[in-house]
Chains A and B, each alone.
Chain A
Amino acid sequence: MKPKVVVVGNGPIGHKFLECLLELQGQSESYQIIVFGEEPLAAYDRVHLTQWFETRDAAGLNMVPVNFYADHQIECISGDKVTSIDRDNKTVTSTSGRIESYDKLVLATGSYPFVPPIPGHDRKNTFVYRTIEDLEAITTAAADAKVGVVVGGGLLGLEAAKALHDLNLTTHVVEFAPRLMAVQIDDGGGNLLREKIEALGVSVHTGKNTQDIGNGESRAHKMCFADETELETDLIVFSAGIRPRDELARACDLRVGEKGGIVINNNCQTSDHDIYAIGEVALWGGRIYGLIAPGNTMARAAAHDLMPTDTKSEFDGADMSTKLKLMGVDVASVGDAHADTEGALSYTYVNEVEQVYKKIVVSHDKKHLLGAVLVGDAEDYGTLLQFSLNKIALPENPEILILPAFDGTAGGGLGVDMLPDAAQICSCNNVNKANLVEAVQGGCWTLGQLKSETNAATGCGGCTALVTKVLNAELENLGMEVNTDICEHFSYTRQDLYSLIRVNKIQSFDELITKYGNQEVIPNLGCDICKPTVASILASTWNDYILEDKHRGLQDSNDHYLANIQKNGTYSIVPRIPGGEITPDKLIVLGEVAKRYDLYTKITGGQRIDLFGARSEQLPVIWKELIDAGFESGHAYGKALRTVKSCVGSTWCRFGVQDSVGEAIHIEQRYRGLRSPHKLKMAVSGCARECAEAQSKDVGVIAVENGWNLYVGGNGGMKPRHADLFASEINTETLIKYIDRFLMFYVRTADRLQRTSVWIDNMEGGLDYLKQIVIEDKLGICNELEKEMAHVINTYQCEWKTTVEDPEKVKRFSHFVNSNDIDRNVVFVKERGQIRPATEDERAQCQEQQSNKVIAIAG
């Protein structure tokens, strides 16, 4: 007979224990396993409990893989509570009357929320926040409620407050201590956190001692506080701390702590060596660890004790550092956040404008980091945690770890090479640097592979950035060369091709592929990757008309038709509206043209007007009209300059300090038509209020009293990035000079389809290096860059103008080479007074019978 382990409590830690045990089973003798859980569901992820609100479906939180119990012959008994332990006979008894013997017993009973014994604490519609059932009950009650109060302003209290807020209740947080999150953060951080939370519309009341809860006048309850103030509410959630569920242990005389918790040793054994306690019920070193990571370590230690192997695993305390997002606010606390260590010194950085608070606590000799508090911006958490955990020697001026890196120099970015092998990178899953490095060496070359191999970054996610750094550093150490060939036709990067074309004065794709194409590839015709790339480089360099016969076949479909192709094969038309400024007359022309050709009209996100639904053969006709009215191509179809957004600026706005519209127009006209590795967007704001959102653009210009601040590398879109400040208080001439150089350097060196944001992020030496090149002319190329730009500017032509003036070119826009017919498959439907492409069903319907809802737009 196999020895038998009984686990009491099927929460995250009980489950972790099962996983650890199974992992070791292969190596040693195996056990018969039974797990009891009081809750109706098997283990679910309590850490992410709040996510239940997103789907209101418990399935998303489930931690147990399908068939887990059956596959491993574990007996899982849910909805049955263990009520007593008989240590003499080594049995446990449950509510349902079940009696199970055990050889080893593991108590993973967790904790329960503490509800202060205030008179009225058990009134109707008072809740705690611990289980899925709690959340269900809160949701039901919230449906008829208007106001909700959370008692307790700690970590969980704020999470509960967020939930009430999201349930559309007017939400209050009532905290006994003088600040929020009293355990983890200090006064400064607490105050900032409070401001931020109040800004979200949640009221915070600190220093409030609730004395009584009774009937309210306008709401269900009235809470009365010691300072004689009152608060009325419909429902109350208590989140005033947790207490270990040690009742079973007490009843069978296991040793427990004064304030509760089952006392354990480093192997997680209780005073009875056949009984273990792990997770939130366990007391180690006089302390309860209310976090998941220490619990996981305990589970591992207990499993190792049951299954002795060569590798020892013990629990010897845990770091309680935490990083979280509370109501959208980044908050982190590392080590000795309160500077309790003797002789500890601290540095504080407070930025009231951006609402950031950072503090570090260092040892008296300033050699080691003891703790830190971050509110509003917790990006430095990983670095600070490593400094503190691994006792890494601090730089001479420790404050640089938290000071912003304005000029790109400072910034305590920690080279991962400095970390010892044993440095714990992922505390949730106890993965250290050596584990990661080993996995990378074993072939995990992507973050995804590394995560599934090591489990790192699969818990709270707080370590993801650091794991990525280790991955990249190790890939570099391995001398991994990623194949950077642009495609099978050229063994070159885009950057190489650019140089080849410029230096050897190559004028066409054919010439390039004949001289530099891969000779093994037959027939060597290029493809839809290298052709548009080369087309773009040729255009940036020589700026020929892109529809010349030798270039036309290279162009991406949009460039090919000088318009953006839409889902039904029709095109959209976006004339340039520099800076977003447009005269009423021009607006009328757009309206008239749109009406005449029945085009769908929309204001774009780039401050201009898009006309959709033109068939290819209509494009030249429509453009002819637009050009006659003074419009020109907007290059919405090109990897080229798109728009330069502006705000109204000093001309009208009472706050404006410069003419932002004028400057936006100036800039847009200067760079219109410039082809680049990816599209380029710019903006000019008239003052620091930044209504043009310049900091989200590739090039952003913000007016200041004495000139302009220039920002580069911003991005909206899929992965937003704020632009970096590149130069301050420069005059217009310098501004243009820098932009010329910046853009041309980007055109020269970026990868295909790489926006400036990613280009800068990937640049070795980063922003600093870029400044050295563009501002200090470190490479001595600024002259060239300016000349190259001047060539592009001087050879600008409106591609549409050139096109409509050439009848041969116009002919190519007809849909068929052998017929004047139009594409009969293009069908539109009217919606909200305008056309839209018909759906497939609608198209079929239209083909069957000409119903009046569906209109075929015939020529």
Chain B
Amino acid sequence: MSYEFICSTTNIIINSGRAALVEGQQVAIFRLQTPQGDKYFALQNYCPFAKANVISRGIVGSLNNKLVVASPIYKQHFCLETGVCLEDEAVMLKTWQVLIRDNNLQVIIADQKTA
């Protein structure tokens, strides 16, 4: 397990997303303001429906008590916590864990073996 530093949390506007490059993979990072404080999520940036790297540009919000992002091209919703698509549960985005230390946003990269 290792950590990769991405950016300062201030680089991400509240309730929106940015793409990041993590070990050659495109990751969409989101920052949401919730009653329990700010929450951060990392999901694959590639939208399997649009077949393009666009997830980070989707609108975030909540649906049925789930935190979600809507893909900007065809508007499917993905659960930010699990990556599961609400419209088609067979489709799932890869997710990463995010760690915030002193306003530094890091993504946790699992070892190949345990992944």
**B100 located at the interface, meaning its Cβ lies under 8 Å from any Cβ of chain A in the complex:** no
Residues of B within 8 A of A555 (CB): 59
Asked if A525 and B65 make an inter-chain contact with CB atoms under 8 angstroms apart, the answer reads: no
A119 to B113 CA separation, bound complex (whole angstroms): 92
Whether A525 contacts B57 by the Cβ 8 Å rule is no
Known: A526-B62, A527-B62, A557-B72. A817 touches B29 (CB 8 A): yes
In the complex, what residues of B have CB within 8 A of residue A554's CB? 59
- Inter-chain CA distance A149–B103, complex, in Å, is 84
Q: Is the CB of A528 within 8 A of B70?
A: yes
Which residues of B have CB within 8 Å of A553?
Answer: 13-16, 59-60
**Range for the number of chain A residues in contact with chain B:** 35 or more
Say yes or no: is A252 at the interface (Cβ < 8 Å to chain B). Answer: no
Main secondary structure of the interface of B (DSSP, over half): strand
A817 touches B61 (CB 8 A): no
CA–CA, A826 and B64, complex, Å? 34
Interface residues of A in 556-579 (CB under 8 A from B): 556-557, 560-561, 565, 567-569
Tell me if A825 and B21 are in contact (CB < 8 A): no
Mask: chain B, 14-40; 1 = CB below 8 Å from A; 0 = not: 111011110000100100111100000
A815 interfacial contact with B, CB 8 Å:
yes
CB neighbours (8 Å) of B32 from chain A are 523, 525
Report if A528-B26 is in contact (Cβ < 8 Å); known contacts: A557-B72, A818-B7: no
Chain A: minimal CB distance from B35 (Å): 6
Say what secondary structure dominates the interface of chain A.
loop
Q: Does A421 contact B (CB under 8 A)?
A: no
Question: Which residues of A (534-560) have their CB < 8 Å from a CB of B?
Answer: 549, 552-557, 560
Contact present for A528 and B75 (CB under 8 Å): yes
Determine whether the beta carbon of A818 is less than 8 Å from that of B20: yes
**B15 neighbours in A (Cβ, 8 Å):** 525, 553
**B63-102 interface code vs A (CB 8 A; 1 in, 0 out):** 1110110101101010000000000000000000000000
Name the residue on A nearest B59 (C-beta).
A528
A700 at the interface (CB under 8 A from B): no
- Asked if A567 contacts B18 (CB within 8 A), the reply is no
Choose among B7, B53, B59, B77 the residue with the greatest number of A CB atoms under 10 Å from its CB.
Answer: B59
CA distance A531 to B13 in the complex (A): 15
Residues of A close to B53: CB separation below 8 A? 569, 815, 823, 825-826
A820 — nearest CB in chain B belongs to which residue?
Answer: B21
Check: B54 CB closer than 8 A to any chain A CB: yes
Check A209 for interface membership: any CB of B closer than 8 A: no
Q: Which of B7, B59, B60 contacts A817 (CB 8 A)?
A: B7
Option from A526, A549, A569, A817 in Cβ contact (under 8 Å) with B18 = A817
Cα(A552)–Cα(B17), bound, Å: 11
Interchain CA distance A569-B47 in the complex, whole Å: 10
| CB-based contact A817/B13 at 8 Å | no
CB distance from A820 to the nearest CB of B (A): 10
Q: Is the CB of B52 within 8 A of A568?
A: yes
Whole-angstrom distance between the Cβ of B94 and the nearest chain A Cβ: 15
- Quick check: A557 and B57 within 8 Å, CB to CB? yes
Is residue A371 contacting chain B, with contact meaning CB distance below 8 A?
A: no
CA distance A826 to B72 in the complex (A): 16
A365-388 CB mask vs B (1 if < 8 Å, else 0) is 000000000000000000000000
Within the complex, the shortest CB–CB distance from A187 to chain B, in Å, comes to: 56
**How many angstroms between the C-alpha atoms of A249 and B58 in the bound complex?**
74
Is A488 close to B, CB under 8 A?
yes
| B54 touching A565, Cβ below 8 Å | yes
A818 cross-chain contacts in B, Cβ below 8 A: 5-7, 20-21
Given A567-B50, A823-B26, A840-B51, A817 contacting B62 (CB threshold 8 A): no
Interface residues of chain A, those whose CB is within 8 Å of chain B, are 488-489, 521-528, 530-532, 549, 552-557, 560-561, 565, 567-569, 812, 815-819, 821, 823, 825-826, 840
For the complex of A and B, the 7 pairs showing the least CB-CB separation, nearest first, are: A557-B72, A569-B52, A527-B61, A528-B70, A553-B16, A817-B18, A528-B59
Could you list some 23 contacts between A and B, CB below 8 A? A521-B62, A522-B65, A525-B67, A527-B59, A528-B70, A528-B75, A532-B59, A549-B13, A552-B16, A554-B59, A557-B58, A560-B72, A565-B57, A567-B73, A568-B51, A815-B19, A816-B21, A817-B7, A817-B12, A821-B21, A823-B53, A825-B52, A826-B52
